[in-house]
């Protein structure tokens, strides 16, 4: 998905524009498109993304608070990046919390939420024969809907706040870059979602928790390995 499409979609999703810019920059940094050490300039980014400097400035402040960039007065922000270890440590926490959310959702999900959960991946399945860019865009939409409706159904606002903060540090839609061009990995990812949905529909909370935690760990490991390879590091086994 293009960054312009991300900005357009994000503006109507309830996210602030600065949060959407954070996600765009995180994706670029983690993919190696923006190398570690690069200086990010407010004006240049605002012009490229077609937005004002204010959300760019706020996005860089968020990234600085996360340790991903270092802001220098009158120079901009220099990229520090996230290591594979950083990504795995965030993922360990997210796996446990999203697993817990799935267990709660198994008892609490209503009919409308069930329809959204199952419909998200039926829609993605229909995109499998399309171009890689169309497939990536549909995956991002379906993945967002699937995880968000489970968290919504869990019905715990404190759990939602904690998970959303972790997603700000490491957006969950980054993992598709590690799957792109590999139909086996994409199919495996789809089957993992279907298995989680089946456990929730069966009201088997412990199984839903176990499957979601394993799914998050798999996705995080794929992202971490991609970052390590881009940095020329040996991926951890």
The residue among 213, 196, 175, 185 whose CA lies nearest residue 92 is: 213
CA distance 149 to 112: 10
Query: What rounded mean pLDDT belongs to the chain?
Result: 86
pLDDT, tens digit, for every residue of 91-131?
A: 999 999 999 999 999 999 999 999 999 999 888 888 787 77
pLDDT of res. 157: 97
Inter-CA distances, 175 with 51, 128, 209, 236, Å: 26, 17, 20, 17
Residue with tokens 């524009």: 17
Residue 68 has φ and ψ, to the nearest 5°, of -80, -30
pLDDT, tens digit, for every residue of 20-65?
A: 899 889 888 877 788 888 999 999 999 999 999 999 999 999 999 8
- SS3 for 104? helix
> Which is more confidently placed, 236 or 85?
85
Burial of 126 per CB tally in 10 Å (0-12, 13-18, 19+): exposed
pLDDT of res. 14: 55
């Amino acid at each position: 998905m293009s960054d312009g499409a991300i900005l357009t979609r994000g503006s109507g999703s309830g996210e602030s524009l600065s949060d959407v810019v954070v996600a765009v920059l995180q994706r670029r940094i983690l993919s190696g498109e923006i190398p570690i050490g690069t200086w990010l300039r407010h004006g240049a980014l605002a012009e490229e993304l077609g937005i004002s400097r204010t959300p760019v400035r706020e996005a860089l402040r968020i990234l600085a608070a996360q340790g991903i960039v270092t802001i220098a007065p009158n120079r901009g922000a220099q990229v520090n990046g996230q290591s594979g270890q950083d990504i795995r440590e965030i993922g360990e926490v997210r796996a446990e919390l999203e697993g817990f959310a799935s267990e709660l959702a198994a008892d609490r999900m209503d009919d409308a939420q069930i329809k959204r959960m199952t419909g998200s991946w039926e829609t993605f399945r229909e995109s499998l024969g399309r171009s890689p860019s169309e497939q990536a865009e549909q995956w991002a939409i379906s993945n967002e809907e699937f995880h968000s409706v489970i968290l919504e159904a869990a019905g715990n606002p404190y759990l939602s706040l904690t998970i959303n903060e972790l997603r700000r540090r490491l957006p969950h839609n980054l993992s598709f870059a590690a799957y792109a061009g590999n139909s086996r990995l994409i199919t495996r990812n789809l089957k993992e979602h279907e298995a989680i949905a089946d456990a929730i529909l069966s009201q088997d909370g412990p199984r839903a928790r176990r499957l979601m935690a394993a799914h998050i760990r798999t996705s995080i490991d794929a992202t971490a390995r991609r970052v390590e390879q881009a940095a020329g590091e040996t991926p951890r086994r």
